[in-house]
Amino acid sequence: ILGVRDIHADHAASHIGKAQGIVTCLRATPYHSTRHKVFLPMDICMLHGVSQEDFIRGKQEKNVRDVIYDIASQAHTHLEHVR
């Protein structure tokens, strides 16, 4: 952007983009769930014993919230790298 050529700026932009992508995916989860689609990482879901069906049914149990928290924490980690 504007001719800025700096490896540090590129690195920061990369982390910001990753954080924004994760947040967008989380924010869209209720919408996609109503259409029987889940785009969250299944390895994290399985770690907490959560299935795609739990999201589709709109469950809000602790293990579902833990999945969301873990994924949001990844976005936060990317923001910390930027700082």
Kindly report, residue by residue over 43-57, the tens digit of the pLDDT: 999 999 999 999 999
Residue 1 has a pLDDT of 62
Res. 39: pLDDT tops 80: yes
Q: What distances in angstroms separate CA 1 from CA 4, 6, 15, 21, 80, one per listed residue?
A: 6, 11, 16, 20, 22
Q: What is the distance between the alpha carbons of residues 5 and 36, in angstroms, rounded to a whole number?
A: 43
Res. 4: pLDDT tops 90: no
pLDDT (average), residues 3-27:
91
Q: Which domain range does residue 36 map to?
A: 7-81
Is residue 63 assigned to a domain? yes
Is residue 1 assigned to a domain? no
Is residue 2 assigned to a domain? no
Residue 5 has a pLDDT of 81
Q: Please state, as a whole number, how many other Cβ atoms lie within 10 Å of the Cβ of residue 56.
A: 15
Count structural domains, the chain: 1
Residue with token string 């932009």: 13
Is residue 44 assigned to a domain? yes
Is residue 58 assigned to a domain? yes
Kindly report, residue by residue over 16-38, the tens digit of the pLDDT: 999 999 999 999 999 999 999 99
Is residue 15 assigned to a domain? yes
**What's this model's pTM, rounded to 2 decimal places?**
0.85
